[in-house]
């Protein structure tokens, strides 16, 4: 096994170490003293979404949650898949990674594994996350890395002009595509069953599950913030209407209700029941359905490193030396 850490330490004298520690402390103090505002999280790219798109609300709420936490944009990475929602990272002043359709979660997990100090946020649509990318969700959940996953659910494929998605209600006929294209499913409506994505994620064992609505800006910023604060995989179901292809603003304004004030966020079975019942009742509840802290993948990896390397650091060189 390589002696990289020991050799590095030997090379560094005590006065130099003190100087480095002083510089690190100074950099930390400067970081703390910088009070950021919303505009620090706006990129130079103006959003290209249709007027009235719910995604504007999600973007504003995320920027507000980042500003309230005064996070350094250089420490934030937003990873997205493909869809109108997938454009979000371009509009935020932070690192962004716009990957292929349905693969936001694998990429986000790789970023977090490579640098656990980063705040990693994955964003995408209902199609990106629960059609093509649906197989990745349970595995990201069971890994429980400290990642916030915001699913911007408009119950439709927005980018590709109005096809039904896994969260489109069964029987839905009112999907207007464009003046030159016919209505989607004009005869019997959508034939497939609708996935209950909130219930699915709770059943998968997710450590934080919440729902919020893009028309309720303050509440959405608060909920996304709670997801960011949660040490583990946080799922935020951000209902975000697509007024161009499936305008749900009016019905959703009627059907959004806060969870009861005395809601017990520690009861997974009750959370599943609530997520199932509300479908029949025709309502959406907003707030934190479930939250519990489990050890994260990063914590568990530290234990593996400790067993494998003892006091030595796990470095690529040390790993390569094992195969030399
Ligand atoms: C491999 C692959 N298959 C299909 C597509 C076409 N496509 C692009 S976005 C999309 C669905 C977008 O819907 P959603 O994820 O709900 O995002 P929204 O546009 O509604 O925000 C599809 C099917 C693609 N880009 N790549
Ligand atoms: S098509 Fe729909 S989801 Fe896409 S930008 Fe326009 S309103 Fe938003
Ligand atoms: Mg969608």
Domain boundaries, the chain: 38-311
Measured distance CA(265)–CA(289) in Å, rounded = 6
How far is ligand 2, taken at its centre, from the CA of residue 125, in Å? 11
CA atoms within 13 A on the CB side of 79: 23
Residues of the chain with pLDDT > 70, as a percent, come to: 87
Q: What is the CA(273)–ligand 3 centre distance, in A?
A: 25
Summarised one tens digit per residue, pLDDT across range 116-130 is 999 999 999 999 999
Q: Which CATH number fits domain 38-311: 3.40.50.970, 1.10.10.10, 2.60.120.1440, 1.10.1240.10?
A: 3.40.50.970
Nearest atom in ligand 2 to the alpha carbon of residue 54 is: 8
What is the rounded average pLDDT for all residues in the chain?
Answer: 90
Q: Which ligand is in closest contact with the Cα of 159?
A: 1
Q: Which atom of ligand 2 has the smallest separation from the CA of 125?
A: 3
Instruction: Write the pLDDT tens digit of every residue in 31-56.
Output: 667 899 999 999 999 999 999 999 99
Q: Does residue 233 contact residue 147 with C-beta atoms inside 8 Å?
A: yes
Residue 83 in contact with ligand 1 by CB distance below 6 A = yes
Return the pLDDT at 37.
Answer: 95
Q: How far is the CA of 157 from the centre of ligand 2 (A)?
A: 9
What pTM did the predictor assign? 0.89
| Span from the CA of 211 to the centroid of ligand 2 (angstroms) | 20
């Amino acid at each position: 096994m390589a002696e990289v850490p020991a050799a590095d330490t030997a090379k560094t004298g005590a006065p130099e170490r003190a100087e480095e520690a002083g510089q690190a402390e100074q950099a930390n103090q400067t970081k703390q003293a910088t009070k950021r505002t919303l505009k620090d999280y706006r990129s130079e790219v103006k959003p290209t979404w249709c007027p009235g798109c719910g995604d504007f609300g999600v973007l504003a709420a995320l920027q507000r949650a980042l500003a309230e936490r005064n996070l350094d944009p250089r420490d934030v990475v937003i990873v997205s898949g493909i869809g109108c929602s997938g454009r979000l990272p371009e509009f935020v002043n932070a690192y962004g990674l716009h990957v292929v359709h349905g693969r936001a979660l694998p990429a986000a997990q790789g970023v977090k594994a490579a640098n656990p100090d980063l705040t990693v946020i994955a964003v995408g649509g209902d199609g990106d996350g629960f059609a093509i990318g649906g197989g990745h969700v349970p595995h990201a959940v069971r890994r429980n890395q400290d990642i916030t996953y915001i699913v911007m659910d408009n119950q439709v494929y927005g980018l590709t002009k109005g096809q039904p998605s896994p969260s489109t209600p069964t029987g839905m006929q009112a999907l207007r595509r464009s003046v030159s294209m016919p209505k989607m499913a004009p005869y019997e409506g959508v034939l497939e069953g609708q996935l209950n994505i909130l219930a699915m994620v709770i059943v998968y064992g997710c450590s934080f599950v919440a729902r919020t609505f893009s028309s309720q800006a303050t509440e959405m910023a608060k909920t996304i913030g709670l997801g960011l604060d949660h040490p583990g995989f946080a799922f935020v179901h951000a209902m975000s209407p697509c007024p161009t292809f499936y305008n749900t603003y009016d019905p959703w304004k009627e059907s959004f209700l806060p969870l009861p004030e005395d809601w017990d966020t520690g009861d997974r079975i009750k959370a599943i029941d609530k997520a199932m019942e509300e479908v029949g009742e025709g309502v959406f509840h907003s707030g934190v359905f479930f939250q519990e802290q489990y050890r994260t993948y990063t914590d568990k990896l530290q234990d593996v490193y400790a067993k494998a390397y003892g006091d030595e650091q796990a470095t690529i060189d040390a790993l390569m030396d094992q195969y030399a």
